[in-house]
Amino acid sequence: MIQSPQPSQERAKRSSDYVDDVPLPPLRKPVYILLQDHDRAERLAQQLEFFGLGVHALATAEAFCAAMRGRLPAAIVMDVDFSGPGCGLLLAAQAQLGLDQAVPLLFFSLHETDTPTRLAAVRAGGQAFMTGTLEASSLLEKVEMLTNATQYDPFRVLIIDDSRTQALHTERVLNSAGMITRSLTEPIRAMAELADFQPDLIILDLYMPDCTGPELAKVIRHNDRYVSVPIIYLSAEDDLNKQLDAMSEGGDDFLTKPVRSRQLLTTVRNRAVRARHLKARMVRDSLTGLYNHTHILQLLEDCRLRARREQQPLSFAMLDIDHFKKINDRHGHPMGDRVIKSLALFLKQRLRKTDYIGRYGGEEFAIVLPNTPLSAAYKVLDEIRRRFAEIIYPAQPHDLHCTFSAGVVQLDQAHDALSMASAADEALYRAKHAGRNCVVRVDPA
Ligand SMILES: [Mg+2]
C-alpha cells in the first residue's frame, strides 16, 4: 500500500493497517491515456490497474480537456496521432499551457517515427517516447521513472552539537529548504540515533564535553554501515591546522561559524546527493532497483530489533516466480528479466511505503512487513499473488501469464534475522510442493 509514515502517537493503530480487510492501495493520482485505438487504451488501462495504478483511457480530445480541468494526472500517455495525424502532439502541448508545473508527458507512436516528429514531441514537452507494442509493465516503468523524477524525497540530516541553540539554528536553516532534521546534544547517544534515524548526512560540532567531534567521527566510521555517510564539521574553530586534523579523522568538509545559510545548504545538498547515489549502488539490485540480498537481511535485522523494542508484530515473506526456467528457455532471458522487473514494480505498487522489498536471488524476492501480524501479511500477499497472475505479457506464439509461490512467517521469541529467513524459505518450499501459485503461512507453535 502506498502510505506515508504515520506519526508516533498512531503507532498503536498501525498494526491494524492490514487487518480489517485487504485494502487496495489508495491510488495515487491517475494516469490519462489517449490512443488512436481506444479499445487498446482500455485494455492497457485494465492491465495497469492490476499494478495498482489508476488509469483513465480517454476517447476524445474533449474528454481529455474536461479531465485536465477536473484533476491533473500523475502523467499523460499520448499517441502522437490521437484524433488525427500529429494532433496528439498539439493537444498535449496545449494541455500544458498555464500549468504551474508540467505534468510528466509520454508520447507514443504505433510506428517508428522520423526525427522531425520526435523533435516536435520534445518541443511539446514530451519526456519520453515509446513506439511499437505498448506493454503494461514497460509503460509503468517509464511512468514510475518520470513521476519519481519530479517527486522530492527529502534529505535527512542529523546534527550533533552540545549547544542546543546552535543545533536549533542549523535545523531551522535546513528545514527551510525542506530537509528533515534531528538534533542530538549528547554525542554519547549518537550510534542509537544513527540506527533509528538513518540520516543521509551528519553535521558535527568540534568541541563537546563528553567527547570531541573527531573522536565521535572515528567511532561512527568504525561501523561499516556508516562508512560512507558524509560528516560535515561545523565549528567556530578557525585554526586551519585544527580544521585539517579534524578532516583527516573521518570528516568530509569543514564549515566555519558563522556560516552563511546558502553555503550550509549547498554543502549539505551536494554531499547528500552524492552519498545517496553511492548508497544506492551499494544496497540496490541493478535490474530491479530493489534492495539486494545483503541489505534486505540487514533491514530485517533492524526491523526485528525495533519490533522487539516496541512490542509490535513483524512479518517476513519470501517469493519465488513459478517455472521461471521455462520462461527463460521458451522466451529468452530478456523476457525473464521483464517478468522479474514487472514483479518488482508490482510489489512496489502494491505494498506500503513502510514495507521493504528485496531481490533475494535470481527470481526470488524477500519482503519485510513491519507492524504487521501474520494473518494480515498472508492476506496481502495472497491478494498480490491473485492479481499478479492476471497480468498478460505479450509473447509469441501465445501471450504469457506468470505466477509466484510464497512463504510467510511472523517474528517469534526465538528468531533472529537468519532463522526467520530460513523459516520463510521453508514455507516457500512447501508452497512449491503444494502445487505452486499459493502462499503458505507458518503459524507460531
Ligand atoms: Mg560545542
Both 324 and 277 in a single domain? Answer: no
In a domain, 214, yes or no: yes
Indicate whether 216 belongs to any domain: yes
Q: Do both 137 and 251 map to the same domain?
A: no
Q: Output the CA 168–ligand 1 centroid distance in Å.
A: 13
Report yes or no on 2 lying in a domain.
no
| Residue type at position 440 | V
Q: Any idea what the CATH number is for the domain that residue 217 is in?
A: 3.40.50.2300
Residues 100 and 53 both lie in one domain: yes
pTM over 0.85: no
257: Cβ contacts below 8 Å, ≥ 6 apart:
166, 234, 235, 236
Inside any domain, residue 373:
yes
Q: 4 in a domain, yes or no?
A: no
Task: Show the domain range for 326.
Answer: 293-442
Do residues 104 and 145 share a domain?
yes
- The phi, psi pair for 145, rounded to 5°, reads -60, -50
Last residue of a domain, one of 256, 283, 310: 283
Is there a single domain that holds both residue 345 and residue 406? yes
- Domain-terminating residue out of 150, 165, 180: 150
User: Separation of 162 CA from ligand 1 center, angstroms?
Assistant: 5
* DSSP sequence for 371-395: T--HHHHHHHHHHHHHHHTT--B--
- Do residues 194 and 310 share a domain? no
Cite the beta strand spans of 168-230 per DSSP E: 180-184, 201-204
Q: Are both 62 and 95 inside the same structural domain?
A: yes
Structural domain includes residue 58: yes
- How many A from CA of 222 to the centre of ligand 1? 23
| Count, residues in the chain | 445
The reply to whether 138 and 247 lie within a common domain is no
Q: What is the CATH number of the domain that holds 391?
A: 3.30.70.270
Distance in Å, CA 228 to ligand 1 centroid = 24
What spacing in Å lies between the alpha carbon of 236 and ligand 1's midpoint? Answer: 9
Q: Which of 254, 283, 312 is the last residue of a domain?
A: 283
Confirm whether 1 is domain-assigned.
Answer: no
Q: Which triple of cell numbers denotes residue 129?
A: 517516447
C-alpha 226, offset from chain centre? 21
pLDDT string in tens for the chain (445-residue length):
333 333 333 333 333 344 433 333 334 688 999 999 999 999 889 888 777 678 999 999 999 999 999 999 989 999 999 999 999 999 999 998 888 888 999 999 988 888 999 999 999 999 989 998 888 877 887 887 777 654 457 899 999 999 999 999 999 999 998 899 999 999 999 998 998 899 999 999 999 998 999 999 999 999 888 988 999 999 998 899 988 888 888 899 999 998 999 999 999 999 998 888 888 788 888 888 899 999 999 999 999 999 999 999 999 999 999 999 999 999 988 889 889 988 998 898 889 888 999 999 999 999 999 999 999 999 999 999 999 998 888 777 888 899 999 999 999 988 899 999 999 999 999 999 999 999 999 987 6
What's the domain count of the chain? 3
Measured in angstroms, how far is the CA atom of residue 177 from the centroid of ligand 1? 24
Whether 85 and 198 map to the same domain: the answer is no
What is the whole-number distance in angstroms between the Cα of residue 82 and the centre of ligand 1? 64
User: Is residue 250 located within the same domain as residue 302?
Assistant: no
Q: Is the same domain home to 301 and 271?
A: no
- Tell me if the bond preceding 397 is cis, omega within 30° of 0: yes
Burial 46-85 (b: 16+ CB within 10 A, else e): ebbbbbbbbbbbbeebeebeebbeeebbbbbbbbbbbbee
**Element (DSSP H or E) covering residue 308:** helix 293-310
Whether residue 3 lies inside any domain: the answer is no
Is residue 377 within 8 A of residue 317, CB to CB? The reply is yes
- For residues 308 and 427, membership in a common domain is answered with yes
CA of 171 to the centre of ligand 1 (A): 16
CA of 141 to the centre of ligand 1 (A): 48
